């Protein structure tokens, strides 16, 4: 299907062809008349002379034809075709973010610490509970600050750790709690850390340090109501560690963790611990 611009060009071309044909017919008629007049002798008046500057009729017709053929519509000069649509390919704009997302998982050896007082059955000594593994999920953000070089990477994160384990509990009276007794341990904390390169040749290794603040929850469930309790307390923490970039967005880390209860409580956290972690940063 022709566009509007192509139709206008086609119409203009047709008009020029019609005008050219009419001009050729006019030339033929004029040429015939001129031949007739040339064959018929005319009387010349005395003093009447033919002007040498007078242009023959055939030459005038040729000039008119040349003007028509060279003439172009002013409306179409220096203008884009009318009715022609152009589709431009969309451009994808890539924004370089100065911050990145963090998602990771960490595991640590965990030993419940402290005592829970009960006026009926005596104290629950958590130090006698078995050692456990506390898995932790981590979510956060990482941002580069060149003005703080060489501490260029700063991370803010939130962590959630949870463990449930079976407890072979025996009361001070010698009575054994039911086998379905469980100890639920949950840790929730936020933290901030910074890291810098260790400066090893071709080794993407970093030293990091940070602080954290959170809350720890102990709760024990059992078919025997006397074996149940629920306690929580605030704690603060300090971590020092090494991070190694396996890939551009995958990091392995090992941290030394120091945590301490911030409340006057009989419950405690394992003060010194090691934590292994895997982070994805994008």
Residues 115 and 76 in one domain: no
What is the model's pTM? 0.62
Residues 125, 170: Cα–Cα separation, whole Å: 11
Residues 6+ apart with CB under 8 A from 138: 102, 103, 104, 105, 106, 157, 158, 159, 277, 279
Whether residues 16 and 123 share a domain: the answer is no
Predicted pLDDT of residue 64: 73
One domain, residues 160 and 65:
no
CA–CA distance, 262 with 189 (Å, rounded to integer): 13
Residues 139 and 78 in one domain: no
Query: According to the model, what pLDDT value does residue 50 have?
Result: 47
- Report DSSP state, residue 131: P
> Is residue 105 domain-shared with residue 75, that is, in the same domain?
no
Domain range enclosing 244: 99-281
Number of structural domains, the chain? 2
Task: Verify that 158 and 71 share a domain, yes or no.
Answer: no
Residue at 50 is within a domain = no
Q: What is the pLDDT along the chain (282 residues), one digit of tens a residue?
A: 556 666 666 666 666 667 777 777 767 666 665 555 555 555 445 444 544 445 566 677 667 767 766 665 554 445 555 555 556 666 665 556 778 999 999 999 989 988 888 777 778 888 888 888 999 999 999 988 766 666 678 999 999 999 999 887 777 667 777 778 899 999 999 999 998 888 777 778 999 999 999 999 999 998 888 888 999 999 999 999 999 999 888 999 999 999 999 988 888 888 899 999 999 999
Residue 15 has a pLDDT of 67
CATH number reported for the structural domain that contains residue 246 in this entry = 2.40.160.20
What's the rounded Cα separation, in Å, for the pair 221 and 41? 139
Give the model's pLDDT for residue 226.
83
| Same domain membership, residue 111 and residue 23 | no
164 within some domain = yes
Domain assignment of residue 165, yes or no: yes
């Amino acid at each position: 299907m022709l566009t509007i611009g192509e139709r206008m060009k086609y119409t203009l071309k047709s008009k020029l062809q019609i005008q050219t044909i009419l001009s050729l017919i006019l030339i033929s008629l004029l040429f015939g008349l001129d031949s007739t007049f040339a064959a018929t002798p005319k009387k010349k008046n005395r003093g009447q002379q033919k002007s040498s500057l007078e242009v023959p009729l055939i030459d005038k017709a040729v000039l008119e034809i040349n003007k028509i053929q060279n003439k172009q519509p002013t409306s179409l000069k220096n203008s884009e075709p009318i009715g022609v649509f152009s589709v431009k390919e969309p451009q994808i704009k890539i924004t370089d973010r100065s911050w990145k997302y963090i998602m990771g998982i960490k595991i640590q050896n965990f030993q419940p610490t402290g005592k829970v007082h009960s006026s009926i059955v005596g104290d629950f000594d958590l130090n006698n509970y078995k050692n456990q593994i506390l898995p932790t999920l981590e979510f956060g953000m990482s941002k580069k600050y060149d003005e703080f070089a060489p501490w260029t990477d700063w991370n803010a994160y939130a962590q959630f750790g949870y463990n449930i384990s079976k407890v072979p509990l025996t009361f001070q009276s010698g009575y054994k709690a039911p086998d379905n007794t469980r100890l639920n341990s949950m840790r929730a904390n936020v933290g901030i850390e910074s890291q810098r390169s260790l400066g090893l040749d071709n080794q993407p290794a970093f030293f990091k340090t940070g602080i954290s603040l959170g809350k720890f929850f102990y709760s024990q469930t059992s078919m025997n109501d006397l074996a149940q309790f629920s306690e929580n307390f605030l704690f603060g923490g300090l971590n020092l560690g090494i991070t190694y970039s396996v890939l551009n967005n995958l990091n392995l880390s090992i941290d030394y963790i120091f945590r301490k209860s911030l409340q006057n409580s009989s419950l405690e956290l394992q003060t010194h611990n090691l934590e292994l972690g895997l982070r994805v940063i994008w």
